[in-house]
Structure 1
Amino acid sequence: MMVCSCALIAATSLMAKALGPLGSAALGIEGTPLHPMQVSAGRFGFAFLALLLILTVWRPRFHGIQWGTHAARSTVGWAGVSCMFAAAAHMNLADAMAISFLSPIFTMMLAIPFLGEKVGRWRWLAAAIALVGGMLIVRPGTDAFQIVALVALSAALLMGAEAILIKRLTSREPPFQILVVNNGIGAAIALTAVLFVWLPPTPAHWGVMALIGVTMLCAQTFFLQAMRRAEASYVIPFYYATLIFATFYDFVVFGDLPAWISVAGSALIVSGALLQVWREKLARERKAAAA
């Protein structure tokens, strides 16, 4: 289930790239390339429409909705997705996805002030390794530096903040309720923001945006089910298969391959994240043994 989620998440970024200036030119898609916020509006809007269809058949009762936390989570989630789509549209897809994998590191750092968690030296080492990998991809101060890489870095920071809010919600509300409320608020935010950058989409644009929304919804479902059925320490390492899928898709569709230094940076990011997962697994085992 986690691998399926990875394949679908990478596919949504590929489709977002296809709607941007580089992708549209390469694939010969007619019409003006869409703004990332318009692509994000399609992602949330069509995902929420799909959920509404599900709700007409299955009518669960919602209760105890934490509206303030949901609003904050949906706002940073929408901003993170928009930044991710913007980065995917203007740079190598594998590089954009690799930088987004810094989000668990930002989650760890944000958990200190917001959740009161203590971070040991091993987790700080994991964070340092991953951040070095991120700098290899971004390469500030060199000719290879791209401003859009900072957009991908912003996406990672925003998704890290979103994970903190998700952690608060999952302890209080069922997964499907979180999914519906998040996509509903996200759709309201995205459809309001898109009014400032709206361009008339072509039929092909509408089709791809609808596909992005439904695909992301399926990816979220697989992700939640994977997290529900097994320990996070077991399933999270499989999440990094997203990078493999992104590289494969980008090569097949656009003929792009990441530079060797980007591959090295990606390897460091994944290594740092996996070290963090391993240390958390050991910490839980020690607590269980003590209990």
Structure 2
Amino acid sequence: MGDAPRPRLGILLCLLSMLLFASQDGITKVLVKDLPVAQLVMVRYWVFLAFAVGYSLYRGHLGAACRSHHPVLQVIRALLGVGESALFGLGLRYLGMAEMHALYAVFPLMTLALAGAFLGEFIGVRRWIAAAIGFLGTLVILRPGTGVFELAALIPLLSALGFAVFSVLTRRISRDDSFATNMLYMGFFGALAITFSGLPGWVTPNPTQWGLIAVLSTIGMVAQLLLLQALKYATAGTLQPFNYTLLVFATFIGLLVFGELPDPWTVVGACMVIAGGLYAIKAKG
């Protein structure tokens, strides 16, 4: 028997997960000032791989989890995942937390469009309207042609696009491969790829930085587990609107820790992106 539906508990776990993800990004923003992004991503991926192996051993299916029906797509997905993580970390070096997350929040709408194009999922007029609203919100944040546009603002958009493609590949692969297989391939090939760029530029962290790296790696895994647990008690559709609290938490952390106050255009644009995302969730046709 599965876990009984408990939507309130699922929502609470989802909110805690979003808070931890925002805290993870705050710690990353502190560390990327002095340490290479590739090095931080490399450490996180080796920790993730250790967790993936441990999970598969715990479930007693390590051998089976190593076999995939889509090995090439799994490798591509892993490379996209590690590239998206590196881009996001790089963006935190140049942009504020609120601006970074406001632009990145467009990824569900990108996923919607890509799923329609490559997976044949029905989109419908209302969801295209939702995507248009989100796109306009992104333009409000970027304000191209006004003299305030930064090339660095393209980093979260590229990261969002990478994660959208990653999400579509995950949907396709998950039809045939297990959760454990997805984790193992992502952890192994992601760690292998990032190690080639992470090790050559290694900068030895000081004790404080080592402590932050340990916290960073730990809360990232805890956040993932909380989100998975939340899905046991509430449906993805129920939880999806609460995923946008990540932007709220990130904005507060940016304000309290880094003294970053988002400008009115970023706030308005972020509201439009969120509104487009929420409308897409509710829209049926």
| TM-score calculated relative to the size of structure 1 | 0.85
Distance 1:251 1:163 in 2: 30
Q: 1:12 aligns with which of 24, 28, 39?
A: 24
Higher relative contact order, structure no. (Cα contacts within 8 Å, ≥ 6 residues apart): 2
Q: 1:160 aligns with which of 156, 164, 167?
A: 164
Q: Displacement of 1:56 after TM fit?
A: 6.0
Q: 1:188 aligns with which of 192, 198, 213?
A: 192
**What amino acid maps onto 1:213 in structure 2?**
S
Distance 1:4 1:173 in 2: 28
Distance 2:180 2:219 in 1: 16
Distance 2:52 2:121 in 1: 35
1:75 equivalent in structure 2: 79
| Structure 1 ranges of 4+ moved more than 6 A | none
Describe the shift of the 1:168–1:229 C-alpha distance in structure 2 as closer, same or farther (beyond 3 A). Answer: farther
Q: Structure 2 stretches of 5 or more lacking a match?
A: 1-12
| Root-mean-square deviation (Å) | 2.0
Spell out, residue by residue over 1:246-268, the C-alpha distance to the aligned partner (whole angstroms, 9 max, x if none): 01111221121211110111100
Describe the shift of the 1:56–1:204 C-alpha distance in structure 2 as closer, same or farther (beyond 3 A). Answer: farther
1:134 aligns with 2:138: yes
**What amino acid maps onto 1:76 in structure 2?**
L
Q: Secondary structure at the match of 1:240?
A: helix
1:208 equivalent in structure 2: 212
Q: Displacement of 1:228 after TM fit?
A: 4.3
1:47 equivalent in structure 2: 48
Q: Which moved more, 1:218-227 or 1:54-63?
A: 54-63
Distance 1:132 1:249 in 2: 26
Q: 1:266 aligns with which of 252, 260, 270?
A: 270
**What amino acid maps onto 2:185 in structure 1?**
V
1:143 aligns with 2:144: no
Q: 1:116 aligns with which of 115, 120, 136?
A: 120
Q: Secondary structure at the match of 1:258?
A: coil
Q: Displacement of 1:275 after TM fit?
A: 0.5
**What amino acid maps onto 1:34 in structure 2?**
L
The answer to whether the 8 Å contact 1:17/1:90 transfers is: no
| TM-score calculated relative to the size of structure 2 | 0.87
Distance 1:247 1:45 in 2: 29
Spell out, residue by residue over 1:65-102, the C-alpha distance to the aligned partner (whole angstroms, 9 max, x if none): 23222211111111111111111221110110111111
Distance 1:41 1:185 in 2: 11
Instruction: State the percentage of identical aligned residues.
Output: 27
Describe the shift of the 1:207–1:191 C-alpha distance in structure 2 as closer, same or farther (beyond 3 A). Answer: farther
Q: Which moved more, 1:216-225 or 1:143-152?
A: 216-225
1:227 equivalent in structure 2: 231
Q: Displacement of 1:58 after TM fit?
A: 5.4
Q: Which moved more, 1:107-116 or 1:80-89?
A: 107-116
Distance 1:5 1:43 in 2: 17
Spell out, residue by residue over 1:85-131, the C-alpha distance to the aligned partner (whole angstroms, 9 max, x if none): 11122111011011111111111222233212342111111111111
Q: Structure 1 stretches of 5 or more lacking a match?
A: 22-32, 284-291
Describe the shift of the 1:98–1:54 C-alpha distance in structure 2 as closer, same or farther (beyond 3 A). Answer: same
Describe the shift of the 1:51–1:119 C-alpha distance in structure 2 as closer, same or farther (beyond 3 A). Answer: closer
The count of aligned residue pairs is 270
Q: Secondary structure at the match of 1:126?
A: helix
Q: Secondary structure at the match of 1:171?
A: coil
Distance 2:237 2:58 in 1: 35
1:90 aligns with 2:94: yes
**What amino acid maps onto 1:36 in structure 2?**
V
Describe the shift of the 1:236–1:196 C-alpha distance in structure 2 as closer, same or farther (beyond 3 A). Answer: same
Q: Displacement of 1:53 after TM fit?
A: 5.0
